[in-house]
Amino acid sequence: METLAALHRAQVERVPYEVVWIALGETRTIEPLDSMAHLASGRGGYCYHLNGALGCLLDWLGFDVRWRAGGVQGRAEPVPAGATGSHLALEVHGLPTAECPDGRWFVDTGLGDALYEPLPLVRGTFTQTPSTFALRPSEVVSGGWRFDHDPRGSFLGMDFTPFDATVAHLEERHRELSTGPESGFVRVVTLSIRTATDISTLRGLVLEHLDSGGKSKTEIGAKADYFALLADVFALPLPEVDEARRAALWDRLRADHDRFLAAPQPTDAGTPQAQPQ
């Protein structure tokens, strides 16, 4: 169990949840070996890549890993989505402890601003500074589980199945999420990374930082500051992205941000929203 927790911590601290690759016009599969190659080259990804690569590594190390199809409920959605396949979660079995007697663990490095370490797959409330989560049986997925996010998190929760998922089950949703004009991942360039004490999330040109003292927001106003932030905070230096592509990305971000500022805003606005998966 110590090895599993250490690997989970290492990934969320060093590999960003990010969709910059979509904004750069790149395409990806969700084959685990392809995902591992992207992460090993210094890039991040979203749930299919982050959990797919971690699951592959854990399998190589001898862990009993299970893929689970999930579905995220965004903050604007009145009811849970169910296990739509818009999220890949992991379970690891065979690691009993005092807090988890049956040895089943919820493992997820692909939720952005959520888990720092695996959670025992039992009903309960769990604190991982600066957040508090809950697990309970799903009300919309028979035999499945529901992860309830911290009230300050980027989404409400995620339901996932009790049975195995495969690349074939998930690849159509991946295509929709990475290319569809209505996808939050296409509309908002989002990154997130966390440590044992804090979480940093960048949506468009708004940086959010959450720690035990609360949440702060900073607007990024210069191209050099944006790419320095990617490298220094989000471990995404992008050495392979040339100046022309960086300039095009910055122009897109600036235009998106200007449209966001010009649009009528609800009273709780302040950050462009993307749907985490």
DSSP 45: B
pLDDT digits (tens, 9 = 90+) for 121-174: 999 999 999 999 999 999 999 999 999 999 999 999 999 999 999 999 999 999
Phi-psi region of 195 (alpha: psi -120 to 50; beta: other; left: phi over 0): beta
- Are 144 and 195 in a shared domain? no
CATH of the domain at 203: 3.30.2140.10
- Are 29 and 145 in a shared domain? yes
Q: Residue range 15-40: average pLDDT?
A: 98
Domain that residue 98 falls in: 2-175
- Are 22 and 101 in a shared domain? yes
- Are 57 and 140 in a shared domain? yes
pLDDT digits (tens, 9 = 90+) for 40-73: 999 999 999 999 999 999 999 999 999 999 999 9
- Are 157 and 210 in a shared domain? no
pLDDT at 204 over 60: yes
Mean pLDDT value across the chain: 95
pLDDT digits (tens, 9 = 90+) for 161-178: 999 999 999 999 999 999
pTM for this model (two decimals): 0.94
- Are 105 and 188 in a shared domain? no
- Are 161 and 194 in a shared domain? no
pLDDT for residue 78: 86
- Are 102 and 230 in a shared domain? no
Q: Is residue 232 part of a domain?
A: yes
- Are 128 and 212 in a shared domain? no
pLDDT band of 263, cuts 50, 70, 90: confident
pLDDT at 8 over 90: yes
Specify the number of domains making up the chain. Answer: 2
Q: Is residue 272 part of a domain?
A: no
Tokens of 101: 């007697």
Instruction: Examine the fold and report which residue of 175, 206, 240 is the final residue of a domain before the chain moves on.
Output: 175
Alpha helices in the chain (DSSP H): 2-14, 20-23, 32-40, 47-60, 167-179, 184-187, 223-232, 243-262
- Are 117 and 191 in a shared domain? no
3-class secondary structure, 158: strand
